[in-house]
């Protein structure tokens, strides 16, 4: 195990003659170990070098990671973003960076390959996508987006939080940057908040390293250790998340209290074929651990369901070993303007499940009991 190096500074033999580390905001051995590990998991080719340009960067939160990436852009630059996004990303784009940095954000349904070409402008500098997206679990065709971006010399970045590098590695399909809320599957135990950026491009890596150090929202050594520790079981956990979620999606799809189920691994998902191609665990298609569903009831019925669950915990966040349930309209996506929520289908009876690794039968009966409680 790498030691948790808590030193903020390092002794120098003579001015400028240091031991490889000078000051922990700039570099820290524990954080380096995590940054290298995630860069390797995402397939960055920069991990072999010994210097600071190895392509992985750890931040104090997922939002800090996205902020740092936006800091590499210049005032006035245009960003094309997927319309369905994590609520916090939406808020950062619309309510902070469009004002403080004068960035111009265009939103489009990038799950539709034709929409990408129409939505890209001559000034677009960055394409930002989530796949699967939060909370509607729309997929973007990563290969297709990388091709459009490359043809036009636009950077493209993927928030890979929902899939994790176990299911898909966007860099291998031509993406420039991958971002993670390591708070979720990478950490995996709901006990740390952390964010990551990864690139396979040396020039971009240097630029991100410069901004990470300049802006300073780095991940601390102890938190770096927690994420590293979580990653050791990432593959085992993802296997179980996918297995449990797939069985639960089947059960929900035939339940009369459930109007619709959205799960990339279920044949009724409109992009199931893309999901089978793009999201894989080992040699098999894998739909991930997230399920979104619309209950066949109103807000009050929805509340009865959410208050009745016993093993699922009603809480924000996702990707931990314990199952969580969330009401996007009131909880995670409250900061998305109501008319945008309506356009995306985030209504009062929409519920998002983060399926954990508990015994499947327990999760099934918990959901069935809570669905019965709708009345
Ligand atoms: C949670 C989340 C974020 C934000 O990450 P934090 O670690 O909470 O700052 C960004 N994107 C997605 C998809 C998320 O789920």
Domain ranges of the chain: 12-231, 234-372
Distance from C-alpha of 116 to C-alpha of 111, rounded to nearest angstrom: 8
Per-residue confidence in pLDDT tens, the chain, 375 aa = 899 999 999 999 999 898 889 999 999 999 999 999 999 999 998 876 655 558 999 999 999 999 999 999 999 999 999 998 998 999 999 999 999 999 999 999 999 988 888 999 999 999 999 999 999 999 999 999 999 999 999 999 999 999 999 999 999 999 999 999 999 999 999 999 999 999 999 999 999 999 999 999 999 999 999 999 999 999 999 999 999 999 999 999 999 999 999 999 999 999 999 999 999 999 999 999 999 999 999 999 999 999 999 999 999 999 999 999 999 999 988 888 889 899 989 999 999 999 999 999 999 999 999 999 998
- Catalytic annotation, residues: 25, 86, 159, 184
Cβ distance 142 to 158 under 8 Å?
yes
Q: How far is CA 360 from the centre of its chain?
A: 24
Task: Name the residue at shortest CA distance from atom 9 of ligand 1.
Answer: 62
Instruction: Please state the atom number of ligand 1 nearest to the C-alpha of residue 66.
Output: 10
Global pTM reads: 0.96
Residues with CB under 6 A from ligand 1: 61-63, 86, 88-89, 130, 134, 159, 161-162, 181, 183-184, 193, 195
Task: Name the residue at shortest CA distance from atom 7 of ligand 1.
Answer: 62
Q: Residue 3 has which token pair?
A: 């030691």
* Ligand 1: centre distance to CA 132 (Å): 13
* CATH of the domain spanning 12-231, picked from 3.40.50.300, 3.40.640.10, 3.30.70.1890, 3.90.230.10: 3.40.640.10
Q: How far is CA 224 from the centre of its chain?
A: 17
278: closest CA among 163, 161, 189? 163
Q: How many CB atoms lie within 10 A of CB 78?
A: 17
Based on C-alpha coordinates, what's the Rg of the chain?
21
Query: Given the DSSP bridges, would you call strands 350-354 and 258-262 parallel, antiparallel or unpaired?
Result: unpaired
What DSSP letter does each residue of 339-370 carry, written as one string? HHHHHHT--TTEEEEE--SS-HHHHHHHHHHH
Task: Name the residue at shortest CA distance from atom 12 of ligand 1.
Answer: 86
* Ligand 1: centre distance to CA 99 (Å): 21
Domain 234-372 carries which CATH code?
3.90.1150.10
> Each residue of 132-154: b (16+ CB within 10 Å) or e?
bbbbbbbbbbbbbbbbbbeeeeb
């Amino acid at each position: 195990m790498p030691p948790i190096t808590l030193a903020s500074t390092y002794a120098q033999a003579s001015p400028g003659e240091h031991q490889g580390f000078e000051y922990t905001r700039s570099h820290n051995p524990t954080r380096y170990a995590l940054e290298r590990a995630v860069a390797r998991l995402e397939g960055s080719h920069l991990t072999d070098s010994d210097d600071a340009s190895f392509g992985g960067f750890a931040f104090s939160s997922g939002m800090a990671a996205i902020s740092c990436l936006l800091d590499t852009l210049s005032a006035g630059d245009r960003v094309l973003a997927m319309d369905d996004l994590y609520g916090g990303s939406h808020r950062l784009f619309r309510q902070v960076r469009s004002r403080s940095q004068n960035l111009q954000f265009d939103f489009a349904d990038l799950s539709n390959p034709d929409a990408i070409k129409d939505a890209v402008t001559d000034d677009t500098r960055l394409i930002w996508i989530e796949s699967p997206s939060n909370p509607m679990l729309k997929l973007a065709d990563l290969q297709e987006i990388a091709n459009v971006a490359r043809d036009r010399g636009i950077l493209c970045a993927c928030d890979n939080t929902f899939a994790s590098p176990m299911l898909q590695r966007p860099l291998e399909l031509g993406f420039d940057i991958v971002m993670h809320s390591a708070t979720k599957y990478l950490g995996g135990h709901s006990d740390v908040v952390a964010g990551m950026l990864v690139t396979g491009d040396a020039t971009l890596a240097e630029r991100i390293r410069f901004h990470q150090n300049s802006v300073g929202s780095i991940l601390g050594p102890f938190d770096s250790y927690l994420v590293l520790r979580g990653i050791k079981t990432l593959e085992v956990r993802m296997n179980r998340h996918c297995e449990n979620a797939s069985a639960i999606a089947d059960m929900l799809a035939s339940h009369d209290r459930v109007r619709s189920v959205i799960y990339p691994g279920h044949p009724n998902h409109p992009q199931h074929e893309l999901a089978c191609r793009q999201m894989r665990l080992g040699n098999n298609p894998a739909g991930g651990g997230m399920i979104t569903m619309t209950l066949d009831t109103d807000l009050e019925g929805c509340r009865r369901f959410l208050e009745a669950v016993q093993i699922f915990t009603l809480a924000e966040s996702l990707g931990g070993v314990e199952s969580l349930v969330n009401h996007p309209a009131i909880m995670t996506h409250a900061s998305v303007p109501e008319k945008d929520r309506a356009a995306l289908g985030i209504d009062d009876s929409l519920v998002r499940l983060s399926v954990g690794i508990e015994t499947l039968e327990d999760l099934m009966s918990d959901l069935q009991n809570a669905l019965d409680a709708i009345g």
